[in-house]
Structure 1
């Protein structure tokens, strides 16, 4: 179950990172986006904590960050027309490879 918590926590990290953009930096002018972003932040950290009960913290944290970083970069390209250069895609590939490697050795 720890891996499920960790994956959901990573997906929520993507959600709150995108939410930061949509809420204009947690602006009160966007209360719904701000509320959802804060809720996703809290849920993400709580699930990371639950996963860390049985997974090594270094592995759990690195995978959580990796899912969030790669997913947020992809979301930025898709949702906000951020550049999808070969270098950026290769860097995302390196992150994904690192996350996969950590999963394999844990």
Structure 2
């Protein structure tokens, strides 16, 4: 269950990065909504990260942090490509794939 919580925390990390990017692109009330989304996603992400490293079957902090940031990094790159029209070059995709492989590898070797 802690792994599912950690994955959801990573998705919320992608959410707060995306909201931050959208807040910078907008003005006025719309920008405030994105800032609210940023704060909400940040809180949920941190809370779920905490839950995944505590209690029964806790994930080690080093592994949890690497997986959490890895999910956020991959999500951030994908959000950049699909939402913010950033380039999807061969090397960007290559390194995102290696990052995903590393996250899966950490899950495979963790108890």
**1:51 equivalent in structure 2:** 52
Gaps of 5+ in 1: none
- Which residue number corresponds to residue 107 of structure 2? 103
State the 4+ residue runs in structure 1 displaced beyond 6 angstroms: none
Q: TM-score, with normalisation over the residues of structure 2?
A: 0.90
Shift of 1:28: 6.6
2: CA distance, partners of 1:68 / 1:36: 16
Q: Pick the structure with greater CA Rg.
A: 2
Q: Whole-Å Cα distance in 2 between the matches of residues 48 and 78 of structure 1?
A: 26
2:71 corresponds to 1:67: yes
Q: CA RMSD in A?
A: 1.4
Aligned residue runs from structure 1 range 18-97, under 5 A:
18-24=18-24, 30-53=31-54, 54-97=58-101
Q: How big is the shift at 1:44?
A: 0.1
Shift of 1:77: 0.4
Scaled by the length of structure 1, the TM-score of the pair is 0.94
Which ranges in structure 2 are unaligned for 5 or more consecutive residues? Answer: none
Whether the aligned pair in 2 keeps the contact of 1:66 and 1:95 (CA below 8 Å) is: yes
